[in-house]
Amino acid sequence: MKKTIAIVLMFVMLGSIFVFAVSSQFPIEQLSFEQILTYQPPGGTSGCTNSRLLYEGSGVIPLQETDSSTQQFTHAVSVVVNNNPAVHMWGEIPIKQGCNYRIEACGTSLGNPGDHADVRLGLLYPAGPQLPFEVAIDVGEVKGTECASFYWNPHYGYPIGVKIYWEDDDAVGEPSLQYNFKIYEECPCSLPPLYPKVDIEQFTVTGGSTIIRDGKLLSSFEISPGTQQTFIQVENRGFFTQNEAMIKFMGLPNGVTVNITPEAQKIKAHNLGTYSAIFTVDPNVPSGTYDVTIVAYSSTGTFDVIQFKFVVP
């Protein structure tokens, strides 16, 4: 993995926002880029999640050293720092059990073509009422633009801030470093109680396979980049008219959108409602298998849910 990606990721990683004590079983001083970037949450990261932006940091760091005043923790989501080193302090925020913490970041070396310099990071951990404990990580040479996304390993504890150093020891030219990072909390979705006798009856691909028939899952839904039309049927087996029956898809990967028509419809007792769902898959969506949930619901509650495999070849 290129060091440029590492820096980007690093910014983000520092973003692991909330505070737990550093694990006493891991020598945090030996933490490396490879360990940070390769972590995958044991419970997986697909399926339905609620994502919340916790912190966003950005700035442009000049190559020369300047005075840097530590940023005190506030409840502001976005903080801009233009000093070298850039110091971001987000403070101690409790971690939620069962949630993952994802970091996204981009970094760009500004200057003439070929200009570059070295980046060093200082992860800041709580160590008492005075200055925090700093763990130095050498990122290495950075040039051009790189972006990346990764999850933070809770085994390393949670930093309360980060210092970003743009060093001139081996610099070529006089570039500046433009950076930004975002920290997200991702928690599993919770579904409301089901209302009986209104079921997802069928889910079919136009001119293709049937994913759900008679309420039973038959196959995965494989879709290539581009547009694909599908149809969904919801059956009202009850004795009362459902005036506002709707469907939605939860857990779709980034870069996939779906347009459902009609948005809502009335389904009389012992009748079917049919919906058109047109999926659009961006060419940049990574190949893979994703856990997606189709939900039939109304403003008063959920009727039925069925999870299926959404496959991008």
State the pLDDT confidence band at 13, using cuts at 50, 70 and 90: very low
Structure tokens at 125: 């951990």
State the pLDDT confidence band at 11, using cuts at 50, 70 and 90: very low
> β-pairing, 210-213 with 256-261?
unpaired
CA distance 12 to 104: 5
CA distance 198 to 252: 23
Task: Write down the domain spans for the chain.
Answer: 3-188, 198-312
The length of the chain, given as a count of residues: 313
* Cβ-based neighbours of 122, under 8 Å, separated by 6 or more: 85, 134, 135, 136, 137, 162, 163, 165
* Identity of the amino acid at 244: E
CA distance 289 to 61: 40
Helix (H, G, I), strand (E, B) or coil at 37: helix
- The pLDDT of residue 294 is 95
Question: Percentage of residues in the chain with pLDDT exceeding 70?
Answer: 81
Q: Say what the pTM is.
A: 0.54
pLDDT tens digits, residue range 182-215? 888 888 876 555 566 899 999 999 999 999 999 9
Give one word for 168, left, alpha or beta, with left for phi > 0 and alpha for psi -120 to 50. Answer: alpha
Assign domain 198-312 one CATH number from 1.10.150.450, 3.30.1300.10, 1.10.10.10, 2.60.40.2310. 2.60.40.2310
* Cβ-based neighbours of 180, under 8 Å, separated by 6 or more: 11, 56, 57, 58, 59, 105, 106
CA distance 311 to 222: 4
CA distance 132 to 152: 20
Of 147, 39, 33, give the one whose Cα is nearest residue 101. Answer: 39
Q: Which residue has the higher pLDDT, 45 or 312?
A: 312
